[in-house]
Chain A
Amino acid sequence: MINGVKRQIPDDLKAFEKSDAFKKIKRRLINKKEKQSQTVFFDNIEKAFDHFKIVSGQCLSFHHHLRNGDKVIEMVAHEIENRNLINMHLAPSSIFPNYTKLVDLIKNKNVTNIHTNYINGPVADTVSQGYLDGKLIMNTHGGRARAIESGDLKIDVAFLACPVVDRNGNGTGAFGKTACGTLGYAISDLEYARYVVLVTDTLVDELEDYQFDGTYVDAVVVVDSIGDSDGIVSGTTQLTKDPIGLKIAKDCALLLDELDMIKENMSMQTGAGKTSLAVVKYVKDIMKQKNIIGSFASGGITKSYVEMLNEGLFRELYDVQCFDLDAVESYHKNRNHKAMSASEYGNPFEKNPVCNKLDFVILGATEIDLDFNVNVTTDSLGNLIGGSGGHADIAFGAKVTIIISPLIKSRIPIIKERVTTVTTPGSDVDILITERGIAINPIRQELIEILKNSDFPLFTINELFDLSHRITGVPREVGHESKIVGYVEYRDGTIIDCIYQVKRFQ
């Protein structure tokens, strides 16, 4: 059948209708896990596998707060291999380039199904090439929380990396040798997995402040090291020096000002890319100039937001994951730098998730199409290179959603007639800002009305599409193999698009 963004979806699946369709549906909740009186301690993963009798076909989950420095998922992967478990279902909140062990497990059918919110690197390539026997389900951050609490994604054992754990099984990421800040993506796993195992390298007697409540924790595995701190920080703390990126960022800030979005009590979220950081700087300049104090910034938090909090430009930060050590430190010390869980952040069924309180969000895109649908899941060849993360959640929640991107990247135009894969529906995307012009979604006539007499270079998205083709030539349609390797699941659990095996070139 054809879904609400004109995509062909297998008939036996729930097809995406529209982004607010969840409002007609009642929240489903399975029981939270029974609280434990006793937490057991092990000194290796093997013992946890024995204790919880982990067998083939089960679902194991993970969070990605240690990002490219994570060692826990590799430990578990080795144990799966050693025991020759097959048909395992893994549900890490993201998959990073260095989780390479999973490549073998997928090829050898130890792992046959995956739920995740973001996937990049060798594992992504392996799935794109068709090696995963079952399916890859790409969730949003809020959608993953919904899937877990509703029992759509049933987790047998959650292996949760935790930088510091105490004797009662309470845990925190705020400090320690692998400090990563908040552990927001793992809260649903903690509360709803059948068994919860914390994996740590730092055991203390008693924590006063903790994010993981020990009463949910069945076991703690104490190992030498859960991660490399070098890989934990994302690295992007410098704002772009690229003149094209700076121009886009500047135009973005000026446009926000023209739309009167930079005002008292404002709230915002941006990505952590170099151009987004430049937007934050320009917005900050305008806030200072106009003496504006915002209510909050949210998301993955970076140093630039920490500075704004410290300078009194925002009253609070809501942080689901810390992107750099400044954010970790601030989360540890500043009461107004608050943790939020993925559910509080973006679950459509939460009463008032943070994403719904946002005034504006600045997001990237690998492709955008004439209907304003955005792809951040695959590249234009169909290779998996990312995923929604919070993209679709905040695009839905925010009053104004702005996509910033160069019109042309290495000869490849960003605007397509149809995106290769739909991550975020065009109905939730309002403005595209490129170095060669700005397009506003025609469903947002009130924005067009405000801007039509301004000096901004406004075009229709079709005009920008034609302009990019005049510069690059018309790119050939690449196509894909017929095999479906996975689905992009919208935050409400419906299927917004299929992910296909990439075409083999001779």
Chain B
Amino acid sequence: MFRSLLFIPGNNPSMIQNADVFPADGVIFDLEDSVDIKEKDNARNLIGNYLTETSTYPSMVVLRVNQVDTEFFEKDLGLLATGKIDYILLPKAGVDSLGILEEKLVEYEKQYDLSEIKVLALVESAKAIIEVFKIAKHKRVEGILLGAEDLCNDLEIGRSDEGTEILFARSRVIYACASNNIVSIDTPNTSISDEAHLRKDCLNAKNLGMKAKSAIHPNQLEIINEIFSPSKKDIEWAKDVIKLAEDNIGKGAFSYKGKMIDKPLILKAEKIIEIAKQFKIS
């Protein structure tokens, strides 16, 4: 389970050596868009050596490889040999590219004797948004990350502060993930110094149903973690409901503060407590 995923540029030693220090639930080491085409080899080397040699790496390691149709894709996957990578984040994900990745992963898992590598799919084209339910059904895919910048380029539209232009895409991703019990991950906010905007953007995504958000700067993590965690109020409510449910065993429904509580709400309360426990929130 994760609330926040931090992108770290694959060729930036200062950021990489502190990857485990930032309060991200997971770190995405990026070999794709944040790395210049002439530096792909250098970044791959650096991430490879870092993962091999350091004992202080993040608890959840994601590698964003280059697209399946580039010369870098297979070499990037070679970093699986480090045995430290939990997830591959596949850019420009679609049913076809997932198929190609699947084949390679089977091969590498065998070659390096790895346990199953999980996949996060980055959906960032109109086509991907249309086939997102198929993507979500793929057995390796454990989360779908919406890439709004590339999507809007594909649609030839700009981005707005309110994000109405991505409402449809967000909703598709959320429904696809919720119906397949995987994690929906919101697009990163590109304004790194406007905290008020980040907060609004996070709340907007969370209220629609997003379960996590990606970050492109460590200073965004605090707000993301706060908003994608259950609030103190939620936790108090959940604790009260669970206690009352125990006191009212056998009754189908009971009332709490003037509202009827039944099975779905008790399950919701249990889920809140479970998440709070995992993220050490009380």
Chain A residues within 8 Å of B, Cβ to Cβ: 241, 243-244, 246-247, 250, 435-436, 455, 467, 470-471
Contacts and interface: CB of A to CB of B under 8 A. Distances in A.
18 contacts: A241-B193, A241-B219, A243-B18, A243-B217, A243-B218, A244-B18, A244-B21, A246-B219, A247-B22, A247-B23, A250-B222, A435-B18, A436-B56, A455-B280, A467-B56, A470-B55, A470-B56, A471-B56
A243 B217 CA distance: 9
A244 B54 CA distance: 19
A455 B222 CA distance: 16
A326 to B, nearest CB: 22
A-B interface, 4 closest residue pairs, ranked by CB to CB distance from nearest:
A243-B218, A435-B21, A243-B219, A455-B280
Contacts of B23: 247
A471 B17 contact: yes
B265 to A, nearest CB: 29
Nearest to A408: B17
User: By CB atoms of chain B within 10 A, which of A244, A247, A250 has the most?
Assistant: A247
A421 to B, nearest CB: 28
Given A243-B218, A435-B21, A471-B56, 5 more contacts: A243-B217, A244-B21, A247-B21, A435-B18, A467-B56
A171 B56 CA distance: 58
A467 B280 CA distance: 24
Size class of the contact patch on chain B: 10 to 19
B60 to A, nearest CB: 18
A204 B218 CA distance: 54
Contacts of A467: 56
A130 B18 CA distance: 39
Interface string B33-58: 00000000000000000000011100
Interface string B183-219: 0000000000100000000000000000000000111
Nearest to B222: A250
Contacts of B217: 243
Nearest to A246: B219
Contacts of A250: 222
Contacts of B17: 471
B199 to A, nearest CB: 15
A6 B17 CA distance: 35
B188 to A, nearest CB: 15
B54 A471 contact: yes
Nearest to A243: B218
Contacts of A436: 21, 56
A455 B276 CA distance: 14
Contacts of A455: 280
A369 B21 CA distance: 22
B27 to A, nearest CB: 13
Nearest to A436: B21
A435 B14 CA distance: 14
Nearest to B218: A243
A440 B16 CA distance: 28
A470 B55 CA distance: 8
Nearest to A411: B17
A247 B218 CA distance: 10
User: By CB atoms of chain B within 10 A, which of A241, A243, A435, A470 has the most?
Assistant: A243
Nearest to B56: A471
A467 B22 CA distance: 17
Contacts of B22: 243, 247
B8 to A, nearest CB: 11
Nearest to A471: B56
A436 B22 CA distance: 10
A241 B219 CA distance: 8
Nearest to B192: A241
Contacts of B54: 471
A403 B55 CA distance: 26
A467 B222 CA distance: 25
Nearest to B23: A247
Interface string B66-98: 000000000000000000000000000000000
B24 to A, nearest CB: 10
A455 B279 CA distance: 11
A250 B225 CA distance: 14
A250 B226 CA distance: 14
A437 to B, nearest CB: 10
A245 to B, nearest CB: 10
A243 B222 CA distance: 10
Contacts of B280: 455
Contacts of B193: 241
Nearest to B15: A243
Nearest to B54: A471
A340 to B, nearest CB: 36
Contacts of B55: 470
A455 B280 CA distance: 8
A250 B218 CA distance: 13
